[in-house]
Amino acid sequence: MSENPGLVLVIEDEAAMRRFLRASLAAAGFRVAEAENGDAGLKAAPLQPPDVVILDLGLPDMDGLEVIRNLRTWSEVPIVVVSARGQEKDKVAALDLGADDYLTKPFSVGELLARIRVAMRHAARIAAGGADEATQFVVGDLKVDLAARRVFVADKEVHLTPLEYRLVAILVHHAGKVLTHRFLLEEVWGPPYVEEMHYLRVYMANLRRKLEADPARPRYLLTEQGVGYRLVDE
């Protein structure tokens, strides 16, 4: 990635925030384009298609969700949303509209770069049509063999039920990204189950018991309270 520095479009109305992002992203080797409101952002994006969009949800001229909806009509560019804590509803709405991930203010540069990396990696995989997708996913002691549909913890095979495996496979497919409850329920159980949050929670608890050393302090299967789950990928 460092050979081909990506272009990051920052849509943010606070000048100080833009300054901080510009400095940190440039230091990490990215090129940065800036827009100070939604309208400018939507105009800038087609002219110079970015590799990642960082979008503040609280824009002066339009709802950040509107920007996502508009962008998604023509582009699959990864979008990372920035918002304050206590606005879980907005985060979920943004993710369900097609945003890739979110950052909660205040955030550190480390978190920001990690999100951007995951989003770009995922977009690259999609662009390659999935052919590029590894048949194996490994993080820490956890190994998922997608070809053989087998899961190992510390090289010991763990037996999963078909639904548990389906859940793990979806998480692996989107590793590093946060996935909303709704998305997971729809993907694993199907549309009639999107409101049955407790299904997902019970299965996630079972998975943690099977895959985590201490289910109450998960290393791999993280809960994003009020939003969804994330499978750690690094």
Q: How far is the CB of 16 from another protein (least distance, A)?
A: 13
Q: Residue 52 is which amino acid?
A: V
State how far the alpha carbon of 214 is from the alpha carbons of 63, 205, 207, 229, in Å.
Answer: 41, 11, 12, 17
Pairing of strands 156-158, 221-224: unpaired
Q: Residue 72 is which amino acid?
A: R
List 23, 140, 222, 234, residue binding another protein (CB under 8 A): 222
Helices (H), 74-196: 88-97, 109-127, 162-173, 181-188
For tokens 């090129």, name the residue.
31
Q: How far is the CB of 231 from another protein (least distance, A)?
A: 14
46 versus 226: smaller Cβ distance to another protein: 226
Residue 98 binds another protein, judged by CB under 8 A = no
Of residues 146-205, which lie at the interface with another protein (CB under 8 A)? 161-163, 166, 188-190, 192, 197-199, 201-205
Tokens of 93: 């709405």
Residue 86 binds another protein, judged by CB under 8 A = yes
Residue 140 binds another protein, judged by CB under 8 A = no
Q: In the complex, which residues of this chain contact another protein (CB under 8 A)?
A: 85-86, 88, 106, 161-163, 166, 188-190, 192, 197-199, 201-205, 208, 214-218, 222-226
